[in-house]
Amino acid sequence: MQYQFYTADVFTDRLFGGNQLAVFPHSEGITPQLMQKIAAEFNYSETVFVFPPETSQGTRRIRIFTPQTELPFAGHPTIGTAYILAAIGELVLDCNETIIYLEEKIGLVPVKILTQDGVPFYTELTASQLPLFGSETYAISDLAAMLSLEPNDLLCNDYFPQGVSCGVPFLFIPLRNRDAIARVKLNIERWQTLLSNAWASAVYVFCFEPELEESDLRSRMFAPNMGIVEDPATGSAAAAFAGYLAMRHPSPNITLKWVIEQGFEMGRPSILKIETDLIDGQIIAVRVGGSSVLVSNGTMNIPEL
């Protein structure tokens, strides 16, 4: 059978930036085994398969695959799928703002789509799982060696290495500056020894020295456990990162906002906008948003089983 697919660049407003995504809007009949093979064939960070909803609240049900495994939740596939479905006319859009609900393995994920003259230009998800914080600790020297850095390249203050998850756990490692970010080269052998069996095995490095004036932070993400050498824009990590940053803010009642730049070292610059609502010092909501652009469409010949 032939199945139509679309590709988009997510977390960017121009072609050939952001994070690539492939979406199959009508995936009925594709087995999970074939979904995994198709994701490996595209070899993007993720590929999404869309189905009719299974609940009365859901707009669509989606399954998200990296080249090696299925994920319960991921940010750029959620953002990008909503954008593609809106852009190709699969959704009924309200005047300027539409809320849809995507059924994912983690649960129902609300997504806001902003449009102008019927054309989507910005998409924002609200994480269905609030941040969970890990308790694992590591020697700075071990983390530095894993990143091919010196120990003094890592920060060791209120911002310390910590695992956080909004559905997928990431280990957040603060670095001193953009030069250290640029020099990161993940040592796979040391990663296997240190993190391959850890709760948070995906590595997210960041610093407070961005390149762009409108950005607040610079980041890179590596996930060998998912088959991702490096990711140009990681929405699920950004959601967890919002929690990491918020819990270090002194104001107990506030909405916090940050702009993250990622993917610059890969030649795929990406901009992710994150927000966290705090009430009485507790996180009550996390949001991740960004722009996307449609890149291509086509059909794939998939054998009937």
Residues catalogued as catalytic: 46
Q: Are 20 and 43 in contact (CB under 8 A)?
A: no
Quote the DSSP letter at residue 280: T
Rounded CA gap, 171 and 260, in Å?
Answer: 17
How far is residue 20's CA from residue 268's CA, in Å, rounded to a whole number? Answer: 9
∠259-267-244 over CA atoms, to 5°?
30
Q: End-to-end alpha-carbon separation of the chain, Å?
A: 10
Contact 243, 256 (CB under 8 A): no
How far, in Å, CA of 87 to CA of 83, rounded? 6
Ramachandran area for residue 15 (φ above 0: left; ψ -120 to 50: alpha; else beta): beta
Of all helices (H) and strands (E), which one includes residue 135? none
H or E, element range at 180? helix 178-183
CA-closest candidate to residue 289, choices 111, 169, 119, 164: 111
Structure tokens belonging to residue 88:
């190709």
Q: Which two tokens stand for residue 32?
A: 């999970």
Q: Which residues pair with 71 in a beta bridge?
A: 64
Beta bridge partners of 111: 100, 125
* C-beta of residue 76 within 8 angstroms of C-beta of residue 19: yes
